[in-house]
Amino acid sequence: MWQTYHYEYHFSFGSNSGHHSYLIPLVGLGAGVGVFANGFWNFRKLRLIQNTPRIAVRAVPMGLVHVHGKATGPNLLSGPVTGTPCYYYQVRLQRWQDQGKNKGWNTVHTTTERRTFYVDDGTGKVMINPQAAEYDLPLTYRGEFGPHAKVGPYLDPSLGLAAGPSEEDLRAYAAKADPAFTIGEKIGAQLDAKYGRTSGLTGKLAERQEQVFEANNPLTGHGSYRITEHCLVAEHEYDVIGTCAPNPQPQGDDDRNLILKGQVEPTFVISGFSELNLEKVLRKRAINRIAVGAFLIVITLGIIIAQLVSP
């Protein structure tokens, strides 16, 4: 006689007792697939760069091209932190979080802006429309302030600046970019006014109470911040890999073509690294992300299978 077994699996996305929770493993699986796919995308981009040799600007054909030259043009921006003349910048503001197990730098604000520019290699120049480009740019500036500031300021020596922004400048930027910073400054001033007048044992106890409060409250003005800036600096040399197409609004002979993100071939990279260094960066990024993605996929699938077969 045949005996029928009926298996029933209950997928739970909460924490109800008696059911397994699949939310975290599924999220991990999705993250793993995304990281794995991104690794292959970087590997594909590496192969395209290797198979697309540089060409002189005056000889660029329609389609995927690779050009190298100085960034020039009148549409200048100014880096918000260093004041660097540029055509693109990204500034990231991070705040130190120290709550339980969540310790580290957390991004609280990111700002970017871009303008069209030209690449001039001496044989001619071609307009670059940077919309939707992928940027691989060296660090222009990094600075930290506050109790958790561990790394000294870094300023790109190729900028030719005598000094970077002061701590007052960094605090002013943080106050403008992160509303919590301004609130924290007020809280910090109130704490200083409350505890600053005490002395002796009472003063030490009050100081300790203030330190504990500040450590557990990220809105105090005594928090730690990190600011990083990346710029596409005017008159610096860059590699651009993108699609060359006719310029619909040419202003002269130098504007008949432009390079942008193509519809058929979407690869569009603007890099401030040398071609060799860019290939190293992409190769390392591809290998790391493929490995991390595969690891996450295997681990999360193992967890899901173990939960499915367990009673």
Structure tokens at 287: 């290998």
Q: How many domains does the chain have?
A: 1
| Confidence label for 259 from pLDDT (cuts 50, 70 and 90) | very high
| Confidence label for 240 from pLDDT (cuts 50, 70 and 90) | very high
pLDDT at residue 54, rounded to an integer: 87
pLDDT tens-digit map of 175-202: 888 776 655 455 555 555 555 555 555 5
Q: Evaluate whether residue 129 is within a structural domain.
A: yes
pLDDT at residue 212, rounded to an integer: 53
Work out whether strand 20-21 and strand 11-12 pair parallel, antiparallel, or are unpaired.
parallel
| Confidence label for 117 from pLDDT (cuts 50, 70 and 90) | very high
Q: Evaluate whether residue 271 is within a structural domain.
A: yes
Work out whether strand 154-155 and strand 225-233 pair parallel, antiparallel, or are unpaired.
unpaired
pLDDT at residue 149, rounded to an integer: 85
161 class by beta-carbon count within 10 Å (0-12 exposed, 13-18 middle, 19+ buried): middle
pLDDT tens-digit map of 60-84: 999 999 999 999 999 999 999 999 9
Q: Evaluate whether residue 176 is within a structural domain.
A: yes
Q: Evaluate whether residue 44 is within a structural domain.
A: no
Q: Evaluate whether residue 53 is within a structural domain.
A: no
pLDDT tens-digit map of 17-39: 445 567 777 888 888 888 888 78
Choose between 182 and 173: higher pLDDT: 173
pLDDT at residue 43, rounded to an integer: 77
With beta carbons less than 8 A apart as the criterion, state whether 21 and 11 touch: no
53 vs 67: CA distance, rounded Å: 8
Structure tokens at 250: 């040419």
Give me the domain span that covers residue 149.
59-275
pLDDT tens-digit map of 272-310: 986 666 677 778 878 888 888 888 888 888 888 887 777
pLDDT at residue 37, rounded to an integer: 85
Report the alpha-carbon angle 68-73-76, nearest 5: 115
Q: Evaluate whether residue 242 is within a structural domain.
A: yes
Q: Evaluate whether residue 299 is within a structural domain.
A: no
> Distances from the Cα of 52 to the Cαs of 61, 95, 275, in angstroms?
12, 41, 11
pLDDT tens-digit map of 205-231: 555 555 555 544 444 445 789 999 999
pLDDT tens-digit map of 125-159: 999 999 999 998 999 999 998 888 888 899 999 99
Q: Evaluate whether residue 20 is within a structural domain.
A: no
Choose between 294 and 93: higher pLDDT: 93
Choose between 204 and 293: higher pLDDT: 293
Amino acid, single-letter form, for residue 4: T
With beta carbons less than 8 A apart as the criterion, state whether 117 and 87 touch: yes
User: How far is Cα of residue 45 from the mean position of the Cα atoms in its chain?
Assistant: 19
- Asked whether residue 260 carries a pLDDT value surpassing 50, the answer given is yes
